[in-house]
Amino acid sequence: MADSNTANRKSAPNTSLLLTTTVTGHGIKHFYAAAFPVLFPSIKADLNLTNAQLGNMTTLRLLVGGLFNLPAGFLADKFGGGRRHILAFSIALTALSCMLLGIAQSYPLIVVFASLMSAAITFWHPSAIAWLSEGFSNRKGMAIGIHGTGGSAGEALGPLVTGLLLKSFSWRPLLSLSVIPGIIVAIMIWICLGKVGQFTATTITLGTYIKGTGNLLKNRRLLIVLAVAACYGGAQATVMTFLPIYIEEDLGLSSTSVGVYISAMQISGIISQPILGYLSDLWGRRSILPPSLAILSLSLIVMGWTTSGVPFTFFLILGGAFLFPLMAIILAAAVDVVSQEVQATTVSLVFGSAVIVSSFIPAVAGIVADNLDVRFTFLLAGGIVLFACVISIVTRWNLEVNPAKENH
């Protein structure tokens, strides 16, 4: 990949349109992704599932998504000029997967179509973030942070809208009908990104890609980032799988309340994400990650051992300020330590490692929930985040104070 031939820029790209469109698309993608867990209690009750089965479903979803990350990165690097097709395809296939979930009649089919949705979602990040990294080479943390804010907005609205709609509709029609707005948005994204203009074009081959991926895995600084990403990914997946179950079954609240609580969790992320991105550009990624991971760990551990009310809401919102936004900082840290030609591949490696290495954690959490209590899943997630915090503190990243000024 490092030997790829990179063409000169053909025209001045429209970075404002690029940022606006990718932020909007990211929000829609996460709207679908965040709405799905709100349906878990209904799906669990309708199909008479156990917590272990829910955990296994999340594990399989993570594995499929992780495995698709590498080809997604290759396609984003190989066909830089076709990234708008990839991004539109990602949204369209996500919506189609939701429709198939709505008509699935058995647990195995639910797992298959949920995994298909995970694969579809995977194709978004490598193309979008690599494109933003090229367009905002000196402000990557800010651009990726704003891009993440769109995701946080979708994460906030998805659960809220879904929780409200569950008062009038069952989970099946909600999923089935969601294909319509998804296809419409996919077409709009395809049209808008066609007006952005190209940044770079590469002639990367599959052999070069595989060799370059191996070289990336020799990058010590990148391996540290991948380890942190894996811990973070496992904790996030565990929380988003069992938080709806905890709210509805253990706290005895309604599906609408599930949506409201998860939305509140994400709204704090909308506010914090661009701030964390800006501060990481100013002070360096290593100055932001350890304290953020420590606060997230504390919030998750305490949240699982409080009842509904002010304490639960406080720690839920505090955890939400870091649970989703931290991935943007991790991604920025990853692309800081590699060359521009392999940024899409690096993004895919970050997500792939986070998903594959940590995919077993939700399955373990499901067993813990069935044999002990759902609250112990928060203790598990918080402990994993604390381990990531320790890694980020004791290792030497050798990054400059201001990574935005580095010339990789």
Above 60 in pLDDT, residue 52?
A: yes
Please write the tens of the pLDDT for every residue from 168-223.
888 999 999 889 999 999 999 999 888 876 655 555 666 766 676 677 777 777 77
Instruction: Give the Cα separation of 170 and 71 in Å (integer).
Output: 36
Instruction: Give the Cα separation of 230 and 406 in Å (integer).
Output: 25
Q: What spatial distance separates the first Cα and last Cα of the chain, rounded to whole Å?
A: 15
Contacts by 386-391, CB closer than 8 A, 24 or more apart: 386/293, 386/294, 386/297, 387/231, 388/227, 388/228, 388/231, 388/232, 388/235, 388/293, 389/289, 389/290, 389/293, 389/294, 389/297, 391/224, 391/227, 391/228, 391/231
Sequence-ordered alpha helix ranges (H) in 166-245: 171-177, 179-193, 206-216, 220-245
Q: What angle do CA 317, 238, 58 make, to 5 degrees?
A: 130
Mean confidence (pLDDT) of the chain? 81
Q: Are 143 and 133 in contact (CB under 8 A)?
A: yes
Q: Which amino acid type is present at position 362?
A: P
The percent of residues above 70 in pLDDT, for the chain, comes to 85
3-state secondary structure of 398: coil
Instruction: Please report which helix (H) or strand (E) contains residue 122, including its range.
Output: helix 107-122
User: Does the 15-405 domain belong in CATH 1.10.3720.10?
Assistant: no
DSSP for 226-268 reads HHHHHHHHHHHHHHHHHHHHIIIIIS---HHHHHHHHHHHHHH
Please write the tens of the pLDDT for every residue from 300-329.
999 888 877 788 889 999 998 888 778 778
List 6's β-bridge partners, or say none. Answer: 202
Q: What angle do CA 404, 407, 408 make, to 5 degrees?
A: 105
Burial of 408 (0-12, 13-18, 19+ CB in 10 A): exposed
Instruction: Give the up-direction half-sphere exposure of residue 291: CA atoms within 13 A in the CB hemisphere.
Output: 7
Q: Where exactly are the structural domains of the chain?
A: 15-405
| Banded model confidence at residue 88, pLDDT cuts 50, 70, 90 | very high
Phi-psi domain of 48 (left: phi exceeds 0; alpha: psi -120 through 50; beta: other): left
Instruction: Give the up-direction half-sphere exposure of residue 87: CA atoms within 13 A in the CB hemisphere.
Output: 32
Please write the tens of the pLDDT for every residue from 220-254.
777 788 888 888 888 988 998 899 989 888 888 88
Instruction: Give the Cα separation of 234 and 238 in Å (integer).
Output: 6
Q: Quick one: tokens of 185?
A: 């948005």
Q: Are 19 and 140 in contact (CB under 8 A)?
A: no
For residues 307, 309, 312, 314, the Cα torsion angle rounded to the nearest 10 degrees is -170
> What average pLDDT does this structure show over 342-356?
70
Confidence (pTM) = 0.70
3-state secondary structure of 324: coil
Above 60 in pLDDT, residue 4?
A: no
